[in-house]
Amino acid sequence: MVRNSLARLAIVVGALAAPTLLAQTPAPFPRPGQTRPPAQPSQPLPTPAAVPPAYTPAAPAPSGEPADLGVPLYPGAQFIASYDAGRGQRYYLYGVPSDFLQIVGWYRTTLKQKGDLVFEEPPVHMFDIGRYREETMAFTPSVTVKDYTWAGSLGYMNPKPGGTPARFNTIIQIVPNLPAASR
């Protein structure tokens, strides 16, 4: 009797599970030769309202000359580019063929401050040139010097085709002090 009950239970469980086990699962990718008609939406999709672009071009950058940035520029530094840093700030990149330590020493003397070695590997040294105001700034006004020849690297490539030098040993990043946030 127990045997009959177990047999009946096995048949009932098997009958209930069989459709699930034998059902085909949909193929995640179409196979060669198969075509599917495009799905027709049941309701037309609403047209999206005009969305303002996520990127808003910044105001034209100053020429990048040292007088425009309010901080002395290492002699022989070549302007590479300027970028929108957000909150009305820009940062300016300059390439220098000189050694990292030579440039850091020059800025220590010129700015009359020690600055901070932010990273040891690769070496990055930062000199604050103004006070950071969280409500109006994205970055601290500063001069940042980075060694691009660390660990055998050949340097930062000159983005100007045929530019001299072909690579810069060191990059200087300047985030100028905003006029309203002057010291």
Task: Kindly state whether residue 120 falls inside one of the protein's structural domains.
Answer: yes
Q: Is residue 168 part of a domain?
A: yes
Between CA 121 and CA 128 the distance in angstroms is 20
Tens-place pLDDT, residues 28-64 = 556 666 666 555 555 555 554 444 333 333 344 445 4
Our count of domains for the chain comes to 1
102 located within any domain: yes
Residue 55 domain-assigned (yes or no): no
Highest mean pLDDT out of 3-12, 42-51, 61-70, 132-141:
132-141
Q: Are strands 89-96 and 170-175 parallel, antiparallel or unpaired?
A: antiparallel
> What is the domain extent for residue 129?
66-181
**Other C-beta atoms lying within 10 Å of the C-beta of residue 111:** 15
CB atoms within 10 A of CB 173: 18
| Share of the chain residues as helix, strand and coil, in percent rounded to the nearest 5 | 25, 25, 55
Task: Please check whether residue 5 lies inside any domain of the structure.
Answer: no
Confidence of residue 122 (pLDDT cuts 50, 70, 90): very high
Q: Which two tokens stand for residue 74?
A: 């290492």
- Amino acid, res. 137: M
Q: Of residues 30 and 123, which shows the higher confidence score?
A: 123
Within-domain flag for 73:
yes
List the helix and strand counts (H, then E) for the chain. Answer: 3, 8
Percent of the chain past pLDDT 70, that is, above it, reads 60
Confirm whether 162 is domain-assigned: yes
Summarize pLDDT for 61-108 with one digit per residue, the tens: 445 455 578 899 999 999 999 999 888 889 999 999 999 999 999 999
Confidence at residue 58, expressed as pLDDT on a 0 to 100 scale: 39
Residue 23 lies in a domain: no
